[in-house]
Chains A and B, each alone.
Chain A
Amino acid sequence: MIELLTTRHNPLVDPTLHVWEWQIPVYLFLGGWVAGSMVLTGYLQRQARAPGQSSVSDRLPWIGLLLISLGMGALFLDLEHKLYVWRMYLTFQPLSPMSWGGWILLLVYPVLALGALATLADGALDRWPRLAAFARQLQSHAATRWLSLANIVVGIALGIYTGILLSSLGARPLWASAVLGPLFLVSGLSAGAAFAHVIAPGHAEQEQLLRFDNLFLMTELGLIALFLIGLLTVGAVHAQAAQLLLGGPFTAVFWVLVVGLGILLPLAIQSLMVAGRIPHTVIAPLLVLLGGLALRFVIVYAGQYSEWISP
């Protein structure tokens, strides 16, 4: 028997650490969604397209700009020393994933903005001839290839960093898993594909995005299994952290919202949609987005609940 009585009274630390509220999971979700959208944009831009044929990749940069701005807004709300945020950009700390993230976010904006500018037709920029000429240059084959590559690289970096950000904080055993990086990336890809499927202009592209999303959802299931197996096998502290999702206080929300409603149900619905058994519906993509958001909330909150049990 060990009874631990602590008479300190840091309100944000005791009885369990709780320093990050809704802002962080919302940011991680939106960041992951944008990351997935960027990778898909890059992929779709590299596909052959008939002249004049529209693609969802023309719309995603605009959506991405909106979503990443909302995410950055949530992140800013979380900061306690807001007026000092510029300090982030006076240094680069190679061992800090948060520093990497700050600089990656600085790359996300120009890549998305250039992608958005490239989608503007000549008429929209008549009042700014130089900008119109620049937009035409961006529409060239070579520029599109480079921009698509930038979308894929920056998107993968953004998606992985959102997971590594947590796993680098070794004091929280639940987060001590390198799988979080790929898991958050694939979850972001899934959210990106699900949403892109809803706003895609063509049926063929919708079908393609659905197939992609099903693949991402199955991969996400596998990564969640690896995440739990890793925690359960690495040691007592981490196994106890895993119990938060396997019988502990976060079990119901994890298995019902994240796995059940967020992965398995939309996977089943989308499989029927791909097979042509049921018409396309927005329910499955909405569930995927809900599951992605719930995943970030569960991991962030449960992670803060977990701690080293040795005295």
Chain B
Amino acid sequence: MARFGMVIDTKKCVGCMDCVVACKTENDVPDGHCRDWISQRLQGEMPHLRLTITSERCNHCDSPPCVTCCPTGASHVQEFGKVVLVDHDKCIGCKACLAACPYGARFIHPDGYADKCTFCMHRVERGLAPACVDVCPTRCMHFGDLDDPESEVSRLIATRRHFVLKPDAGTRPRIFYLE
């Protein structure tokens, strides 16, 4: 069974926010909210500065605190692809998952339920890539099965230096950033 993940090459990402716009359009994300976003990290001291641009979203963690804290089972790990999803009809809007997510990946949809990135499962089930991956003009984003050693994402992780966000939080995120 697949275990979907994403690999994003920070050397190629220019922070154009096409992924953000594509996600909002594809998933009809309401005004004032977003399922993915761009962060810029400026590190070092002048003149030795390093700028890292990261396209961020729900990390679909292997150990997702948003799922364990959910009182109704609305937040769950889907069997197909081991993707973390929210069943809108089960969500009571208690916001425990928002408080439990160290990445701030969730928000309350104006209709009252917790919402976040789904890895565009409606597209992936039809054999397409997530909208953000599809539109990236620099082709810095890669999506695939982390359990398949022959997949592009597995090969990139095996051959390139990479990092994940907030590894100390112990959530085992499945979005990897190439350095």
Residues in A neighbouring B170, C-beta threshold 8 A:
170
| Cβ contact within 8 Å between A4 and B41 | yes
Q: How large is the interface on B (under 10, 10 to 19, 20 to 34, 35 or more residues)?
A: 35 or more
CA distance A90 to B43 in the complex (A): 49
Which of A9-17, A109-117, A126-134, A142-150 forms contacts with chain B? A9-17
Residues in A neighbouring B36, C-beta threshold 8 A:
8
Closest residue on chain B to residue A75 by CB atoms: B94
Residues in B neighbouring A12, C-beta threshold 8 A:
98, 107-108
**A206 contacts the other chain (Cβ, under 8 Å)?**
no
| Cβ contact within 8 Å between B56 and A8 | yes
Q: Would you call the interface of chain A mostly helix, strand, loop, or mixed?
A: loop
Residues in B neighbouring A8, C-beta threshold 8 A:
20, 34, 36-39, 56, 104
Residues in B neighbouring A82, C-beta threshold 8 A:
92-93, 112
Instruction: For chain B, residues 36 to 92, give those with C-beta under 8 angstroms from any C-beta of chain A.
Output: 36-45, 56, 65, 68-74, 89-92
Binary flags per residue of A1-36, CB closer than 8 Å to B gives 1, else 0 = 111111111111110010110000000000000000
| Cβ contact within 8 Å between B72 and A87 | yes
**A79 contacts the other chain (Cβ, under 8 Å)?**
yes
Highest count of chain B CB atoms <10 Å: which of A13, A78, A172:
A13
| Cβ contact within 8 Å between A307 and B102 | yes
CA distance A206 to B127 in the complex (A): 72
Total residues of chain A contacting the partner, CB 8 A: 48
Question: Given A79-B93, A81-B91, do A14 and B104 touch, yes or no (CB 8 Å)?
Answer: yes
| Cβ contact within 8 Å between B32 and A9 | yes
Question: Given A93-B72, A171-B65, do A9 and B34 touch, yes or no (CB 8 Å)?
Answer: yes
| Cβ contact within 8 Å between A169 and B99 | yes
| Cβ contact within 8 Å between A81 and B113 | yes
| Cβ contact within 8 Å between A7 and B37 | yes
CA distance A118 to B34 in the complex (A): 55
Which of B129-137, B138-146, B149-157, B160-168 forms contacts with chain A? B160-168
**Shortest Cβ distance from B88 into chain A, in angstroms?**
8
**B120 contacts the other chain (Cβ, under 8 Å)?**
no
| Cβ contact within 8 Å between A93 and B37 | no
Residues in A neighbouring B17, C-beta threshold 8 A:
7
Chain B residues within 8 Å of A, Cβ to Cβ: 15, 17, 20, 32-34, 36-45, 56, 65, 68-74, 89-96, 98-102, 104, 106-108, 111-113, 165-170
Interface CB pairs A-B, < 8 A, 10: A3-B42, A5-B42, A8-B39, A8-B104, A10-B33, A17-B98, A19-B98, A19-B108, A80-B112, A84-B91
Told that A5-B41, A7-B20 touch, could you supply 16 new A-B pairs with CB distance under 8 A? A1-B43, A4-B42, A10-B107, A11-B33, A17-B99, A78-B94, A81-B111, A84-B112, A87-B90, A88-B92, A99-B71, A168-B69, A171-B100, A172-B99, A308-B102, A311-B41
